[in-house]
Homo-oligomer: A and B are copies of this chain.
C-alpha cells in the first residue's frame, strides 16, 4: 500500500491476514494518515497483533469494533469514526473482512451459504451505506476532479472464486461453491455501487488479492495450477506494483473490474 496517499483510511477485518498486513504496509508510507483498523473483537486473542501495532503507532492507528454481520455494530462504528474524522472525511474504505465456506452441489450446507452471503455481501453493502456520507465529504473536500484511491474510494477485496469466467476451470479441484456464489454477489454489488457513487466522484472497485497463506486462504490448498501461494508478508497488498493493472503473476491484487480507475 506504499503508493496510497489517502489521509483517512478504514479497513475491515484488520486484525489478521491481508487486513493486518495492509495496515502494516500502510505504516511504511511516510504520508500523514490515519487508519481506522476495524475488527469484530478488538479485545480478543485474535486481535493481539493489531493491538501491538496500535500501541507502537498510537497517533496513526485507531482500533474500532465493527462486526460485519451485525447492522447495529456497523452503524455504531460509523458514528464513532464520524466523530473522530476531521473535515476531510474518509478517503478510503477497504471492505476486506470475509469468510470462506467450501462445498459442492452435494455438500454445501445451507447455513454456510447464508453466512457467507451475510458476511461477504450484505455486510459490505451496509458498510458502504453507513460510511458514504464521509466518503462524500472527502470527495468534496479534495478539490480535484476525477476518481482515485487518494480522493474517495471503496475497495472491495473480492476473489476470482466469484468470477464466472475464471472459476469454473478449477472448480472440481477447489470446491468453494458457497464462497463463490457470495463473491459473485459481492462483485455485482461493486459494479452497481460504482454506478451509484459515480455522481459523487467516488471510486468503487473490486480486487482479487491472489491466493495467500492466511487463516482464510488456508494451509492445505494444493492448487498449484491456479497460482503458487505466497505468504502474507510476501504479498505487496496491491500498490508496491505501480502498474495500473497489476498482473495475476505479480503476487499483488489485480482488479476484477474498472481497472482504469485503480490509481
Contacts and interface: CB of A to CB of B under 8 A. Distances in A.
Interface of A: 71, 104-106, 108, 110, 113-114, 117-118, 121-122, 125-126, 128-129, 132, 162, 164, 167-168, 171-172, 177, 180-182, 184-185, 187-189, 191-197, 257
A156 B74 CA distance: 35
A118 B122 contact: no
Contacts of A132: 105-106
Query: Secondary structure of the A side of the interface?
Result: helix
Number of copies: 2
A185 B181 contact: yes
Nearest to A165: B191
Contacts of A113: 117, 121-122, 125
Query: Which of A110, A162, A182, A184 has the largest number of chain B CB atoms within 10 A?
Result: A184
B129 A196 contact: no
A193 B105 contact: yes
Given A71-B110, A185-B181, A191-B167, A129 B117 contact: no
Given A105-B196, A129-B105, A167-B192, A185 B187 contact: no
A129 to B, nearest CB: 5
Contacts of A195: 168, 171-172
Given A177-B192, A180-B192, A184-B188, A114 B105 contact: no
A112 to B, nearest CB: 10
Query: Which of A110, A126, A181, A193 has the largest number of chain B CB atoms within 10 A?
Result: A181
B129 A185 contact: no
**Closest A-B pairs by Cβ, 7 of them:** A184-B188, A181-B185, A184-B184, A171-B195, A171-B192, A181-B188, A185-B185
Nearest to A181: B185
B180 A188 contact: yes
A109 to B, nearest CB: 10
